[in-house]
Chains A and B, each alone.
Chain A
């Protein structure tokens, strides 16, 4: 452990000003930890081990976590927000917060993915709530969808159905959208989804029930 050099963290703001950061020298170059020989490859390590290494300053270990879970974090954020650019911002911020809080991560209390999803969902839901007062929030979600453009009739119909579903989802409360986003994630159990939303499994079922009921009503009307 003596080979690992720790740096005192004086960083406070969760989302740094990128222009200000660009002027800083590379922190990695200032204080990159020396990786002891004989450790297993990062790609073979579990999430919990990678987080332990990240807490000790191993940025590459955290990069493997981003590689592993970035797509899902982005997908969940996109399904809650309905806007690709905002989803990217939220996913980036979620990973930054995870990096900053790496030392406090306790794998005995939660899996890394559950923890990351909780951060991502909280950020996405908070951002959605700020949009509620904004006019045409549903229209913004529609505008974020790709233009179907000219093409075969089948693809035009499919694009129309996607837009209708996006419009219906945009009318749901954010937590119901989050429940739907998690329920349709492959490999995510109900218990994990409930933990990510910080609710009981019964409460998650209630969110899903109301979401499906509302979606069917909107789509059939």
Chain B
């Protein structure tokens, strides 16, 4: 563990060791025991964490009351939730496959276009080579 990797660990997981990946705790503890830079990094991370814990904004209590009243007032005046139709459920089931479906559709369209534009092979009489052969009764 280096100080720069320790700084990255602190930024990713915060300053609380219990939230660090278990595999990195021992290395971090060893670094903290020997490195003043690591201790300073930890102190800075703890300071930021404490500020975020206390100074992030909180809604006023009257705002919460207003929200509850406003939502109650509005849903009292809006129709009931729409019941989901069977087609909606089928669409919800198929939606994850939509990208693959569009790809398959595009491939099929390309194939169809290619086949329609390709020159049709000349179809002759399959027995023509036989007709060129001499017949037994023919004079030589």
Q: A interface vs B, CB < 8 Å?
A: 6-11, 16, 18, 21-22, 24, 26-28, 31, 33, 54-55, 57, 59, 62-63, 66-67, 70-71, 73-75, 78-79, 82, 84, 87-88, 91-92, 95-96, 99-104, 145, 158, 161-162, 165-166, 169, 180-181, 183-184, 205-206, 208-210, 212-213, 215-216, 219-220
Contact = CB atoms under 8 A, between A and B. Distances in A.
B68 A99 contact: no
Contact of A216 (B48, B68, B77, B84): B48
Contacts of A8: 79, 82
Contacts of B11: 208-210, 212-213, 216
A115 B131 CA distance: 78
B76 A70 contact: no
Given A71-B64, A75-B58, A82-B57, A212 B77 contact: no
B71 to A, nearest CB: 5
A31 B77 CA distance: 11
B55 A162 contact: yes
Nearest to A83: B57
A211 B126 CA distance: 76
A96 B57 contact: no
A191 B66 CA distance: 31
Judged by DSSP, the binding face of A is helix
Contact of A205 (B13, B52, B66, B78): B13
Contacts of B68: 63, 66-67, 70
A208 B77 contact: no
B68 to A, nearest CB: 5
A189 B78 CA distance: 34
The interface residues of chain B, by DSSP majority, are classed as helix
A55 B55 CA distance: 38
A59 B75 contact: yes
Contacts of A54: 81
Interface in B72-96: 72, 74-84, 88, 92
Sorted nearest first, the 4 A-B pairs with minimum C-beta distance are: A9-B82, A102-B81, A209-B11, A57-B80
B76 A28 contact: yes
Contacts of A162: 55, 57
Contact of A59 (B8, B10, B56, B76): B76
A148 B45 CA distance: 27
B74 A96 contact: yes
